[in-house]
Every structure is written in structure tokens, then in C-alpha cells.
């Protein structure tokens, strides 16, 4: 099971990112847990300046703007 964290203040883009990650995982048949991290100190700990951010199994893979579906698929593979 992949551990996914979506970093951001809880804005619409952050929610859309979480939904996109879950939808792509469902499409690929990959089990994931998606956690939304809204604590600014925790987000800053990943060293990003723009949100939303995506962390897959402890590794930051994306920061700023909505990710592309094909990128999400590659990160989950």
C-alpha cells in the first residue's frame, strides 16, 4: 500500500489533487492511503514554497499546481 500525503492549506486545488490521486490509484488498482496535511510547519518541513505538494512513501514528488494524470500514474507505479 502506498502512503500519499497531499500538502496544502485545504484549498480547492489541494482537494482536487487528493481526488486526482485517489482516482488514478483506483484506475490502476493500487491501494493507497491519502492523507491531507494542512499544518504549515509540517508542510514547510518538506521544503516546498508552492502548494499543493504530493509526497509518495516519504518522498516529495510534486509541488505547485495540479499534477498531470500520467505523472500521478508514474509516481504510484
List domains and CATH numbers for the chain. 2-76 (3.40.30.10)
Q: What is the mean pLDDT of residues 14-25?
A: 98
Given this model, what pLDDT does residue 36 score?
Answer: 97
Given this model, what pLDDT does residue 35 score?
Answer: 98
Its pTM stands at 0.95
pLDDT interval class at 14 (50, 70, 90): very high
Give, for 69, the enclosing helix (H) or strand (E). Answer: helix 69-76
pLDDT interval class at 12 (50, 70, 90): very high
Predicted confidence (pLDDT) per residue in 23-55, tens digit: 999 999 999 999 999 999 999 999 998 999 999
Q: Which of 67, 62, 34 is nearest to 48 (CA)?
A: 62
Amino acid at each position: 500500500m502506498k502512503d500519499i500525503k497531499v500538502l496544502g492549506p485545504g484549498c480547492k486545488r489541494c482537494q482536487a489533487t487528493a481526488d486526482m490521486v485517489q482516482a488514478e490509484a483506483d484506475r490502476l488498482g493500487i491501494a493507497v492511503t491519502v492523507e491531507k496535511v494542512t499544518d504549515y510547519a509540517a508542510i514547510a518541513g518538506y521544503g516546498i514554497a508552492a502548494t499543493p505538494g504530493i509526497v509518495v512513501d516519504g518522498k516529495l514528488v510534486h509541488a505547485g499546481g495540479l499534477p498531470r494524470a500520467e505523472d500521478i500514474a508514474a509516481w504510484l507505479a
